[in-house]
Chains A and B, each alone.
Chain A
Amino acid sequence: MAANFWNSSHYKQLFDQEEVDVVHPLDKDKGITLEDFKLIKMHMVIPICKLAQQVKVRQRVVATAVTYMRRLYTRKSMSEYDPRLVAPTCLYLASKAEESTVQARLLVYCIKKMYSDDKYRYEIKDILEMEMKILEALNYYLVVFHPYRSLPQFLQDAGMNDISMTQLTWGLVNDTYRMDLILIHPPHLIALACIYTASVYREKDKTAWFEELRVDMNVVKNIAMEILDFYESHRLITDERINAAFNKLKP
């Protein structure tokens, strides 16, 4: 982990789980439960990923965009900040912040191509307006650290840097963005939890290597448990369940 994480705004802004799991009063009034809230955030990662593939930006941009979106909803309601506009706008903002700018025009074009649904019909103007609102809500803090950077170093150090292990852990890291982990834990611990999960999954005993690390393994294990819980519950989520959550957001 780069030494600068510890004096970054990202580190200072880490939340406790209880702070993240607060449904905004405006959303509560509409009957949104904590479960709905989590489900919608999880679901909105999908259009961000799809859109990112269309406009060809790095995974890092996706990760930053999702982080912006999750941070936004710790402060703002989904009623005022429609997730269907917030998601592409976060990708737009993240592409600029991560130095791989995507034109708003191209984004809007891709959205229209991807969705026939009217709810996704946003124009350039809407994205640019929302960009300003998101910037303000994020208090202009834009630098985000991700587990991707430390992952290859850890894998190499643990002697697990073969292709299959690299792919598996990379995929696990991608999936952690369906949860709020990036708001709560330092990225290198998330990377370690993914490696831990992968080693357990592939039945490779890496206990000795983990013990040598000067990190709190209890935290790593807890993150790994959460990741496994996510996969467990993810199988039970149906489209109806997601639609029901979104329908509550209707004015």
Chain B
Amino acid sequence: MPENDVEKKVADRYLKREILGEGTYGVVYKAIDTKTGHTVAIKKIRLGRQKEGVNFTALREIKLLKELKDPNIIELIHAFPHKGNLHLVFEFMETDLEAVIRDPNIFLSPGDIKSYFQMTLKGLAVCHNKWVLHRDMKPNNLLIGSNGQLKLADFGLARIFGSPGRKFTHQVFARWYRAPELLFGAKQYGASVDVWAAGCIFAELLNRRPFLQGDSDIDQLGKIFQKLGTPTPLLWHDLEWLPDFVEYSSQITQPWRKLCPTASDDALDLLSKMFTYDPRTRISVQQALEHRYFTSIPLPTDPAKLPRPAPKRESHNPRTSDLNDGPVVLSPKRKARRVMSDREGFDGNSFQVDKVDERGGEIRWAAGDNSGRNEPVLMSVDFSVFGSKPMSRPTINSADRSHLKRKLDLEFQHPE
């Protein structure tokens, strides 16, 4: 049939390379677009076993990404059916913000943090201007391209929030980024849920570790109140009317200076406005972008000059191209450092020991080489690398979380 010929022709445009990862609804692989010469990431959407056609979450992502074209939002370049499966072609992204935050070899200057966070908010502002809630803001959904541009990705939980009074599910976001109104079961909410999550990302950038790490929904609220104080009806009028409201013992607010010791006064002011309890008075993304933090010195770093994890060195390590590329890319030295930093890193400054001039890939590679003799000892404490850190990140689905994988895929499918 001529139709199949056309289909084949389209599919032939892309030269398949290695698999980048596997998500709930399909495989993501790297490919070369022979038409443009660009590297792309192709998400192959498996048709469900339940005979339900194109996966619902995939359809959501396609629908919204076709409307959201912006430098700070991942580009859906193309979509095509091939052999009964739908293929989504995305621009290829080198790394993500989680990898940047977690990389102990990276020093983030205040200007770098400002730049990464500004791009995050810019992408989010585009969504909100178009009445789209992202609902899954977290560092590993913020992808970073080879030019340093940060882009929002993973719109599988996103939806349009135009009609007033529509009820949504509160089971959105990875727990650590979930706003208190969602944790209290609110079904009617707005753009402010994304703002809270963005605030968590901001604090994580500043402190270089997740800001509010609860291990259950109840504990998450506890962690929030422990740092930000227990909200009172005076601060948050509708609080007691929320479906899952439970009373917590009263905790006093800790000073922001103590919570983020390295941040500037402007940064702390912005943070406190993003963490306002009452969603109605919480700062909007647009207001946040206009906050003086972004215009005060130091100015945001030019994206092209932002520090990023060194590119992986495939040729040196054939295992990196394995299908289930786990944490093999990390050299032993880096793994070891990472654990040490995590352990003693609670003052938020320890990463700075690594200093800026060590950013170059070659220096680090050399550093990695001469770490050999310490390896056995350090490896024994290094239980973090293989996915069982003392506190694992509460991704909705923790199946694969390697730095190699471009998190283009959804992690979670939620029936509305």
Contacts and interface: CB of A to CB of B under 8 A. Distances in A.
A135 B130 contact: no
Contact of A2 (B59, B84, B131, B415): B131
Interface stretch (A32-40, A101-109, A192-200, A213-221): A101-109
B52 A104 contact: yes
A97 B67 CA distance: 13
Nearest to A141: B66
A149 B162 contact: yes
Contacts of B415: 101
A65 to B, nearest CB: 14
B256 interface: no
A128 B130 contact: no
Nearest to B128: A4
Given A99-B159, A140-B79, A127 B53 contact: yes
Given A9-B67, A124-B51, A132 B86 contact: yes
Interface string B65-86: 0110000000000011100101
A114 to B, nearest CB: 21
B-side interface size class: 20 to 34
Nearest to A92: B53
A131 B163 CA distance: 27
A217 B315 CA distance: 67
Given A135-B86, A136-B80, A128 B47 contact: yes
Nearest to A100: B416
Interface string A106-144: 000000000000000000110110011001100011110
B295 interface: no
Contact of B53 (A131, A140, A141, A143): A131
Contacts of B159: 99
B62 interface: yes
B144 to A, nearest CB: 26
Contacts of B163: 149
Interface in B31-88: 47, 51-54, 56, 59-60, 62-64, 66-67, 79-81, 84, 86
A7 B86 CA distance: 27
Interface in B124-162: 129-131, 159-160, 162
B66 A4 contact: no
A128 B66 contact: no
B80 A4 contact: no
Contact of B81 (A2, A125, A132): A132
Contacts of A97: 59, 63
Contacts, number: 69
A101 B56 contact: yes
A132 B67 contact: no
Contacts of A141: 66
A4 B160 CA distance: 11
Contacts of A100: 416
A39 to B, nearest CB: 28
B47 A142 contact: no
B5 to A, nearest CB: 15
Contacts of B84: 132
Contacts of A156: none
A7 B300 CA distance: 29
Contact of A7 (B56, B66, B80, B130): B130
Contacts of B47: 128
Contact of B66 (A105, A127, A140): A140
A127 B47 CA distance: 13
B129 A143 contact: no
B56 A143 contact: no
B83 to A, nearest CB: 11
B54 A140 contact: no
Contacts of B63: 97, 140, 142-143
Nearest to A103: B52
A8 interface: yes
Contacts of A127: 53
Contacts of A128: 47, 51, 53
A50 interface: no
A131 B53 CA distance: 7
Interface string B160-171: 101100000000
Contacts of A3: 129
Nearest to B166: A99
A154 B67 CA distance: 26
Contacts of B66: 9, 140-143
A152 to B, nearest CB: 10
A99 B59 contact: no
Top 5 A-B pairs, shortest CB-CB distance: A142-B63, A128-B53, A131-B53, A4-B130, A132-B81
Given A135-B86, A142-B63, 8 more contacts: A2-B131, A2-B162, A4-B129, A9-B67, A104-B53, A135-B62, A143-B160, A149-B162
Interface of A: 2-4, 7-9, 92, 96-97, 99-101, 103-105, 124-125, 127-128, 131-132, 135-136, 140-143, 149
21 contacts: A2-B131, A2-B162, A3-B129, A9-B67, A96-B53, A99-B416, A100-B416, A101-B52, A101-B416, A104-B53, A128-B47, A128-B51, A128-B53, A132-B86, A135-B62, A135-B86, A136-B80, A136-B81, A141-B66, A143-B66, A143-B160
